[in-house]
Amino acid sequence: MRVWVLLGLLASTQVWAEACVVHSQAERVSVEVCQQNRTIPPKLFHDGFCQPNLPGQKVEVQHLEQCPQGAYGVCRGARVERMPYEQDIHYYGVASDAAYLKPFCEQNSGGHWETP
């Protein structure tokens, strides 16, 4: 009896991935971001937010518990227009892209830009 209770407790405490790394490649452009979930329902985050529709690009998605270190910038508390959900978006790759990502983060996404 104790074994079944223990197995039930272990199954109920499983940690689900709350971040996803999205790597997309086009002909001459390679982009890598990580989306860290804050308030998005898990199924919507996994099946919607972490599954971008980028025609003509090769897209790879990896689900993790948290975003890896090494980002040149993070948009904290980013929101999608007309949705109440928040996420933190970590940007990797070309640090000079921060010149246009920071204003977009703060003005369009209602987020706060951080440089780690």
Interior/surface letters 99-112, b for 16+ CB within 10 angstroms, e for the rest: eebbeebeeebebe
- pLDDT tens string 43-56: 999 999 999 888 88
Using the Cα atoms of residue 37, residue 41, residue 44 and residue 47 in order, give the sign of their dihedral: positive
How does residue 3 score in pLDDT terms, banded at 50, 70 and 90?
very low
The mean pLDDT value for 13-40 works out to 83
Q: Name the pTM for this structure.
A: 0.81
The mean pLDDT value for 23-41 works out to 91
Cα separation, 68 vs 66, whole angstroms: 6
- pLDDT tens string 58-113: 999 999 999 999 999 999 999 988 888 999 999 999 999 999 999 999 999 999 99
Using only C-alpha atoms, the chain has a radius of gyration, in whole angstroms, of 17
